[in-house]
């Protein structure tokens, strides 16, 4: 079996030694459903083993990077099991840690909404480019759950604790332009220029000294990896507790019914 066979909602494109990982659920949203969650848990390990690439770009198909968790799965969870079946805590940790452990430099090309886990995927990359009108947000609290999939780890490291808590506690969105101004992402460019800008930067890295670049990344990520390992079990445990609440179920229903939720603290 070839390295990237068996993927259904993630596809691979090659440009010389540059590997592009494209999230593609076929509906333009690229939300994390059962299949996407499982594939994200193994894609970065496969990318690490790929002998034909040195630099990685991750993006979404169509006009969305990744819309975050598929709310329909929360709605359809069986009684007594409010967490959807796809939310394997093992897979959740594998997504986070395999991305941080990836030695090849990875560039996020945020071409549209990067929400929840989608935002985490983008922000854990080494260099982040966004379309200036793209939207980035971690609205876990608006779904009545804890930001346990990495948001509480990475947002404070990029913009400081005060700003990070403002956005994590409210779920408020930022445009790519605003995100670049406050240092959440590296660069914001007009949408029409995004792909060319990202590929030019990827080619610059691909033409550099690969061992020096790769090992510089590895060393720089040591502290972030240690932090992620120290926080993630607690973050996921708190997230699982909030799956059990009435307010979470109300938030899911309100989202799908396109109305404001009525939280009761239960």
- C-alpha distances (whole Å) from 163 to each of 2, 137, 179 are 44, 13, 11
The pLDDT-based confidence of 75 (bands split at 50, 70, 90) is: low
Element (H, E) at 257: helix 246-257
Sign of the CA dihedral running 96, 110, 152, 154 = positive
What are the residue ranges spanned by the domains of the chain? 10-191+210-257
Is residue 127 within 8 A of residue 107, CB to CB? The reply is yes
pTM for this entry: 0.94
Helices (H), 10-136: 34-49, 71-75, 89-101, 117-123
- CATH H-level superfamily of 10-191+210-257: 2-enoyl-CoA Hydratase; Chain A, domain 1 (3.90.226.10)
Give the model's confidence band at 235: pLDDT under 50 very low, under 70 low, under 90 confident, else very high: very high
Residue 122 near residue 65, CB atoms below 8 Å:
yes
pLDDT at 64 > cutoff 60:
yes
């Amino acid at each position: 079996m070839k390295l990237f066979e068996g993927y259904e909602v993630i596809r691979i494109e090659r440009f010389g030694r540059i590997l592009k990982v494209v999230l593609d659920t076929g509906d333009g949203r690229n939300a994390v459903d059962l299949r996407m969650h499982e594939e994200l848990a193994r894609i970065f390990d496969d990318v690490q083993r790929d002998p034909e690439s040195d630099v990685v770009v991750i993006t979404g198909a169509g006009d969305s990077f990744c819309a975050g968790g598929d709310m329909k799965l929360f709605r359809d969870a069986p009684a007594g099991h409010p967490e959807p079946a796809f939310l394997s805590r093992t897979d959740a940790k594998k997504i986070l840690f395999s991305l941080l452990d990836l030695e090849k430099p990875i560039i996020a090309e945020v071409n549209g909404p990067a929400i929840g886990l989608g935002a985490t995927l983008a922000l854990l990359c080494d260099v982040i480019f966004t379309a200036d009108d793209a939207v980035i947000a971690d609205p876990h609290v608006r779904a009545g759950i804890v930001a346990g999939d990495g948001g509480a780890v990475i947002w404070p490291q990029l913009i400081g604790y005060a700003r990070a808590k403002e956005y994590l506690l409210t779920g408020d969105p930022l445009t790519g332009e605003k995100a670049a101004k406050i240092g959440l992402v590296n660069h914001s460019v007009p949408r029409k220029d995004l792909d060319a800008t990202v590929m030019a930067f990827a080619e610059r890295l691909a033409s550099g000294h690969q061992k020096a670049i790769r090992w510089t990344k590895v060393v720089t990520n040591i502290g972030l990896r240690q932090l992620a390992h120290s926080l993630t079990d607690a973050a996921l445990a708190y997230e699982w507790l909030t799956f059990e609440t009435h307010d979470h179920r109300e938030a899911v229903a309100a989202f799908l019914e396109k109305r404001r939720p009525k939280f009761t603290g239960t």
